[in-house]
Amino acid sequence: MFVSQSRAIEILNQNKIVALPTETVYGLAARYDSEEALLQIFKTKKRPSFDPLIVHISRKEQLEVLTRKVQPVESFLMDQLWPGPLTFVLPKHPSVNPIITSGLDFIAVRMPQHPLFTVVIDHTAPLAAPSANLFGHTSPTTAQHVDMEFSGEVPICDGGATTVGIESSVIQISEADTAIQLHIHRPGMITEEVLKTTLLNYTSKEIKITYGATKASPGHIADHYQPRKPLVVVQNNCPITAETHHQICNFLKLSFSSSFETLNYSDKEPTHVARILYSDLHRLSYSPTADYILLVVNTDFLNDSWRALRDRIEKASTLSITFKDGTFFTHNKLKNFQ
């Protein structure tokens, strides 16, 4: 169900939820101070209560009601990279409803870069918004994806296709006398390299980067972003022959007469693939000619510039195939894919 911007503002101020575009993916938004709407997000998405939400702001001053403290290094990065696809994990303000943070003492906050979202925040309040998809499914990059996902039940404000295409980078920083520790909970298109280069204008201290899901970020489970058909990843040195298809069908327990559709990303840049990945997965999820989806990458896939996409594709995938010395190797997800 599509609604105008002014109707979206009314709905939010009536303590209900609405889907809104950001530059990354569409979000399912609720006022941060409306318990009724926050609970509705979890119910609508079938999201477990242990997976905390990101709160979106339109002005830095709004941080005051969300967090106890912003370190100078964080404030610097916000000034450089906001609005944009970067989320900070900060100490939670005691007044913030623990439903948002799943009881954690930290809150995730970002300032999105989408005029429609910004105006809506200005007329409501900071908005908690996870991606507007059922838990575990592929995130939406168009209003139509959201409408399909929730069978027309959720009000959506259409702001066109998103431009970045995958979710924001989620980071947490601690600054000590000798070094800045930067933990990347979820990689995104604001990469390690962008963060490091930006920080060079702030400090001469050593910058230590770590990655990975910690207990502080329970949303990072192995199966996520999943299309409705099995996703199979192959490197472009792997011949796509009847034998490859048989290997895949054996693994997936499909008959050899099954069909597949190919997404060939082997000659594409990561920023371009980020923009099209979810929309390709949505389209092929409903394709009658695909029993599984074959996604082809090149050797650059293992480089750092592909890290965020590798993370999404790993979680969305069922298996991967590599080919060495004339032999096919099948792997669970992307394990041992090299």
Which residues contribute to the site for ligand TXA (CB under 6 A)?
A: 22, 24-25, 27, 51-54, 85, 87, 89, 101, 104, 106-108, 112, 129-131, 167-168, 170, 185-186, 216-220
Comparing every residue's Cβ against Mg ion, the nearest one is 131
Q: Are 273 and 309 in contact (CB under 8 A)?
A: yes
Pick what 27 binds: Mg ion, ligand TXA, none; C-beta below 5 to 8 Å, kind-dependent: ligand TXA
- 89 makes contact, choosing from Mg ion, ligand TXA, none, with CB < 5 to 8 Å by partner type, with ligand TXA
CB nearer to ligand TXA: give 96 or 232.
96
- Least Å distance, CB 316 to ligand TXA, is 14
| Minimum distance, C-beta of residue 26 to Mg ion, in the bound complex (Å) | 10
Nearest distance from C-beta of residue 4 to ligand TXA, angstroms: 20
- Least separation in angstroms between residue 132's CB and ligand TXA is 7
Name the nearest CA neighbour of 244 among 334, 320, 325, 332.
320
User: Toward Mg ion, which CB reaches closer, 147 or 291?
Assistant: 147
Identify which of residues 22 and 131 has a Cβ nearer to Mg ion in the complex.
131
- Contact of 265 with 273, CB cutoff 8 Å: yes
What count of residues does the chain have?
Answer: 338
Residue 216's binding partner among Mg ion, ligand TXA, none (Cβ under 5 to 8 angstroms by kind) is ligand TXA
Residue 99 φ/ψ, nearest 5 degrees? -60, -35
In terms of CB distance, is 121 or 321 closer to ligand TXA? 121
| Contact pick of 58, 67, 131, 318 for Mg ion (by CB under 5 A) | 131
* Contact of residue 101 among ligand TXA, Mg ion, none (CB under 5-8 Å per partner type): ligand TXA
Shortest distance, CB of residue 221 to ligand TXA, whole angstroms? 9
Least separation in angstroms between residue 135's CB and ligand TXA is 9
Beta carbon nearer to ligand TXA, 125 or 234: 125
When asked if residue 191 is in the footprint of Mg ion (CB under 5 A), the reply is no
* CA gap 70, 72 in Å, rounded: 7
Q: What is the closest distance, in whole angstroms, from the C-beta atom of residue 131 to Mg ion in the complex?
A: 3
Q: Which is nearer to ligand TXA, 56 or 245 (CB)?
A: 56
Which spans of this chain sit near Mg ion (rule: CB under 5 A)? Answer: 131
